[in-house]
Amino acid sequence: MGQLLVTLFLRPVTLVGLLVALFWRSHRFRQERAVFGTSIDRLWTNWWAGLLGGVAGGLVLSVALVFLGVILPHPVMLTLIVLNVVALLLAGLGFAPWFVALAGLVSLLPPWLGPIAKPAGWAAGYAALLAGLWLVNALLLRFMNPAVDVPKLCPGKRGARIATYSRRQWYWLPLVLPVAGDCLPAFGWWPQLGIGSVHFALVGLPLVIGAALTTKKQLPTHATDAWSWQYLGAGLVALVVAALVYWRPAAGQMAVFTVAALGVILGLANWAATRRGTGLISQTSAGVRLVAVQPDTPASKMGLAAGDIVLTCNHLPVHTEDELYAALQTSPTYCRLKVMRLDGAIRLTETAIFNGAPHELGMITFAEEQA
């Protein structure tokens, strides 16, 4: 029964991940058009990052796991799949792959999926799998995490509107993993294998990792940068646990508890990282605050980013979008800006432009909100 359930659940993980990603992309478009009258980012950059980065990570991790001979009981495998699906369906509340550390706790439950081997035989490989997933997540969040953020405007405590930002970046990770059992089917054309008395099949295990979070006092990039360090640290600790259990298999049950606790600590660290920040991104009378910058526009070529405050345009001070538009008209070929970053740094930038309103240059401001 358990083997059949694993087979049925393997492929739907990919389908659920795809449908969830499509839903949130459509939701982002609807929200941006309702608030700003335009879609801020129509490109598929985050999709390509999620596909290419995930496949590359999955290939490297699969080779490592097969080389190490990591074999998981099918109840643990099924629990891992179910946790991934539930996490994706609840992605509106946030998503972070710390949850994978809870899959091993199924070994403490009654064997409703069939008998489960003692953790002494599989805990080392299980910890190695968790370490690999977290390390891959750390690297992808650091190096393949395009800034496709969804701004939302809401009233602040002192009357001025503030902007919050959501980012949902997933990576499709197609793993190939040995799974114990002599009648669990593989891809259909892969044979079952055996080493001595141990029988297993190489099974495709498509998982989805990444990040889904909302920030208020910082841009999501700062939070995901912190996440990448957190996942790197947790992955290294899990590797140490795997090595210790490999050396002393009798500590397998303790290892399952240890990595579960490590996962919960990692989840709390993720949550704390999203709460940090230097200050609210709010409307200001000191200049024109940018809520977002559209890609492949003059504004993006100038290196502008959400949260920047345009202080002067073409050497004229600006405090409203109307003043910014008027200043743009004084120079039909170039735009020269003095900008204050979120950290208070001042920079000067310029680029060739075409005649048009600020939003046609790729600058989305608080004033873009529709009545």
How much is the average pLDDT of 75-79?
Answer: 85
State the DSSP code for 95. B
Q: How many CB atoms lie within 10 A of CB 116?
A: 18
Of 238, 254, 235, 220, residue with least CA distance to 145: 220
User: How open is the CA angle 205-208-214, to the nearest 5 degrees?
Assistant: 165
Q: pLDDT-based confidence at 73, cuts 50/70/90?
A: confident
In angstroms, the Cα distances linking 42 to 26, 39, 140 are 11, 6, 22
pLDDT for 8-66, tens place per residue? 445 667 788 888 888 888 888 888 888 777 788 888 889 999 999 999 999 999 989 88
Q: How many CB atoms lie within 10 A of CB 160?
A: 14
On the question of pLDDT at 316 being above 80, the answer is: yes
2.30.42.10, 3.40.50.300, 2.30.110.10, 2.102.10.10: CATH of 283-368: 2.30.42.10
Q: What is the pTM of this model?
A: 0.85
User: How open is the CA angle 109-114-118, to the nearest 5 degrees?
Assistant: 65
| 263: its two tokens | 């996962």
In angstroms, the Cα distances linking 53 to 138, 208, 220, 287 are 12, 11, 19, 39
Compute the residue count for the chain: 371
State the DSSP code for 282. E
Whether the Cβ atoms of residue 319 and residue 285 lie closer than 8 Å to each other = yes
Note the maximum CA span of the chain: 81
The structural domains of the chain, with segments of one domain joined by +, span: 2-275, 283-368
State the Cα–Cα distance between residues 337 and 340, nearest whole angstrom. Answer: 10
pLDDT for 204-215, tens place per residue? 788 999 999 999
pLDDT for 89-102, tens place per residue? 999 999 999 999 99
Of 240, 261, 263, residue with least CA distance to 124: 240
State the Cα–Cα distance between residues 131 and 235, nearest whole angstrom. Answer: 4
State the Cα–Cα distance between residues 99 and 368, nearest whole angstrom. Answer: 39
Secondary structure class of 227 (helix, strand, coil) = helix
Q: What is the dihedral of CA 160, 279, 336, 145, to 10 degrees?
A: -120
| Residue 97, pLDDT score | 96
User: How open is the CA angle 181-83-27, to the nearest 5 degrees?
Assistant: 135
| Residue 1, pLDDT score | 41
